Structure 1
Amino acid sequence: MPESRTRKSADAKKKQTAAVAKPKKVKTPASRRWVPPTFITVGLLGVAWLITYYIAGADIGFMTALGDWNILIGMGGMAAAFAIATLWK
């Protein structure tokens, strides 16, 4: 015949609850205050590069030498700004 379950004593209950530890709080990452000014600056530099290329690119020697790479540089700056913006919490 099976034995009936016995009640746990108060000491046994304390030991069981002590064994189950409270979950540790996860520390939030450090402040990322540098992200907003950085992505705004990088994005505006990309836009400024494109505007300068379209308005005065023919008069600026190194921009003339770069040719269509100027578009990639400007768009790359804006894409980098969006990539940096994903770091913002």
Structure 2
Amino acid sequence: MPKSRIRKKAEFTTPSASKQATSIKLTNRSWVAPIMLAFFLIGLAWIVVFYVTEGDLPIKSFGNWNIVVGFGFIAAGFGVSTQWK
């Protein structure tokens, strides 16, 4: 039975310091978590208030669309969460 060939790995070379410094972007994303949680809590509170007040609050003229508004805030929270690193 023939022997398999031994595979040689390419030698690792470190990238130059100048190339590495330009490729790293320093961004401060500390605003993401508070905004995300705020959207989640506002959406949850909107829906809870709607059910507890039997449709009188937060906006009576919206009717059952208040649920959609609450879920819209929650969806916005998920949208903001995509910016978290």
TM-score, reference length from structure 2: 0.70
Letter in 2 for 1:84: V
SS at match of 2:19: coil
**Higher helix proportion:** 1
- After superposition, the CA RMSD in angstroms is 2.0
Aligned match for 2:50, one of 53, 67, 82: 53
What displacement does 1:57 show? 4.3
CA contact (8 A) 1:46 1:74 kept: yes
Aligned equivalents of 1:29, 1:70: Cα separation in 2:
40
Matched, 1:83 2:79: yes
- Which runs of at least 4 in structure 1 moved beyond 6 Å after TM superposition? none
Letter in 2 for 1:32: R
CA contact (8 A) 1:35 1:85 kept: yes
Q: List alignment gaps of at least 5 residues for structure 2.
A: 1-14
**Number of matched pairs:** 68
Letter in 2 for 1:36: A
Question: Larger Rg: 1 or 2?
Answer: 1
